[in-house]
Structure 1
Amino acid sequence: MTRRTLLRGSAASFGLAAGGVLFSAGSAKAADLYNPFSGYPMTDGWWDHINRGSLGGIDYAMGVGTGLPAAGAGTVTNIPYNGTGGHTVTITHSDGYRTQYMHLSAFHVSDGTWVGQGGTVGFSGGAAGAPGSGSSTGPHVHWHLITPGGTRVNPLDYLGGGGGGTVLPKTSAEQDGVPGPTMWKRTQNWLRIQSGYTGPIDGVPGPNTYAALQRNMAGNWGYTGPIDGNPGPMTWSAVQRLAAQHGYTGPIDGVMGPNSWRGFSRFINADAWDRVG
């Protein structure tokens, strides 16, 4: 695996990486962390690790190549071939806490990139003997938190979610593949957080929503068309490439159907896009 492969998608520190890197850094506290892996089965808990002599961690089973969202905003450092941890990504938050994910198959952004909460920082690995797996014997991600003093702690003890505001419901499009107002409200909130959308969170997409979507797709998913708020096949092909990181296995043909919307909605149902304000 080449360094270029490990750092795919890292052309610019201020780009929008996999729906996650913002234009400027903000603040993050340990209490602002969320669990980006709540939808995956936990195969090893904190005390399972401690009881077998590990410094601690939580393991979630997932297929190799699954996008790994940042549990909180911060600055990324990649550590290739980090001993038994294999490829490891560290996210340093503004209060000095550090999130670490281990056993990656690839990194997604370059060292020094600032990512927003929910932004993809790498791709899961862990297949026995694969490059970057370290001592892992099966596909999963290992997650732990490190305090400013250097002590490894259970991240589930530090979850907060970031304060008040309106909480959006999850979209049923993840199950039925039918986009509707709830999906578009969540999409607008994602684009508000990450891509400069300033319109209402009303679930009615218009030129401003689509222009923000095009900006995000241009920064992440290979969109090379105009930012004109008028989506066509090039825009939707980029959306399908995002959806492919979340279970979509169909063609990248720019024609959104139920399977395309299901994959996209798995991404848009992430906890990071729940809260408005």
Structure 2
Amino acid sequence: MNKKKIYSTWFLAPAMLIFLIFFIIPMITSLFFSMTVWDFKNFTFVGLDNFKMFFSERSLNIGIKNTLIYAVLTSGLKVILAFLIAVFLSSAIRTKNIIRSIVFFPNLVSTIAIGITFTAFMHPSKGIFNKVIEFFGGTGIDWLGNINLALFSVIATDVWKGVSIATVIYVAGIASIDKTFYEAASIDGASGWQRLKSITIPLCRPAMNSVIILSFIGGMRSFDLIWAMTGGGPGFATDVMASIVYKQYAAGFYGLSTAGNVIMFVLIAVLAFPLQKFLLSKEVD
């Protein structure tokens, strides 16, 4: 019995070693350097000063607010829109394979390319969006220059790109549902809405939970699309945690940026793990 236990433990050793080297040690090192002012030659220990500065400076702590708004809205919209599209694509329509390919297309394009393209589309005077609005007699909108609108413009672009992979996950979840459930419901006279509410949604819960978790964590970590479209501007209107950390690194404030990384890690862990536990508890056995 003891030999069998040791034998199993040795199988775990390589994975534990990799976990130690690439996760535990970097995490402890980051925590230490977040409490210092450092460069590539030396460091000075300053305790919690970096964290105090991060929470006291508006140009820094606004990233926490924007990150939460960005993550919640992008995740929520992807969950709802992707589910509706997946239900449509799982119905008996002849062109569903072609439509599936079209829906998945945004996921094949580089995020930076999408950011640059939509920045051109949203140009205040030459962008196609404003040209369409003006064609119908409206007034052009400063999509990325208005501090009250810029973040939501980037969110809309993120949803357009991210809804594709969420739809694929939903389609797979719906396809895995046993058709006999729908046949039994039809015999009992259930309407389309009743079948959707009582069969599709409950049995598609694992796929839905995956979409929620993946899109929420992705939203919390988002950087490339925001940087390509606004660079965090105008002002600090679209700055999120990742863009602020990048700016501090670029400016040479390595200790402050490391503190931002630690805050972002804690924020994701504190929100994502309880959310995952709650969602798993709601799955149908």
Q: TM-score, normalised by structure 2?
A: 0.21
**Which structure shows the higher strand fraction?**
1
Q: TM-score, normalised by structure 1?
A: 0.21
Greater Cα radius of gyration, structure 1 or 2? 2
Determine which structure has greater relative contact order: mean sequence separation of CA pairs < 8 Å that are 6+ residues apart, divided by chain length: 2
